[in-house]
Amino acid sequence: MNTTTLPANPPRRALSAGLWIAQILIAFFMLFGAYMKLAAPADEVAKMMVWATQYPTLKAFTGIVDLLGGLGILLPALTRIQPRLTVLAALGVIALQVLAFAFHASRGEWPATPFNVFLLVLAGFVYWGRSKAVPIAAR
């Protein structure tokens, strides 16, 4: 007779793994965006974000927001220090993506909007998962 033990709750483990993947993806894209807006050469940024030269203050502001969102979506959950901040970071990413979608749509930059929707869906998943389905306990 086989006495190997299966994980106690495989669906919960799969959901948790999916949430970690979503958090890592959001962090990667947000931190890359922060780098592009705050540290990359202006000519390189202008190739990817036409609006950045027209609105340098908005570029800097959204770069800071991207940095905070990227760190906040991952670090509190990883360290288990104030993990509820991950849920708040997910809400912040949701708000940022809704505003970014509206901004790009108002300028007719429709090719940029699918990426906003992608991050919005990921952040919504993280918000739901970390607030309701698989919250992370604080230390």
- The pLDDT profile of the chain, 139 residues, written as one tens digit per residue, is 555 555 567 889 999 999 999 999 999 999 999 999 999 998 899 888 989 999 999 999 999 999 999 999 999 999 999 999 999 999 999 999 999 999 999 999 999 999 999 999 999 999 999 999 999 999 9
pTM score: 0.91
pLDDT at 43: 87
Cβ atoms 63, 28 nearer than 8 A: no
Grouping H, G, I as helix, E, B as strand and the rest as coil, residue 136 is: coil
d(Cα 130, Cα 124) in Å, to the nearest integer? 10
3-state secondary structure of 107: coil
Please tell me the predicted confidence (pLDDT) of residue 4.
57
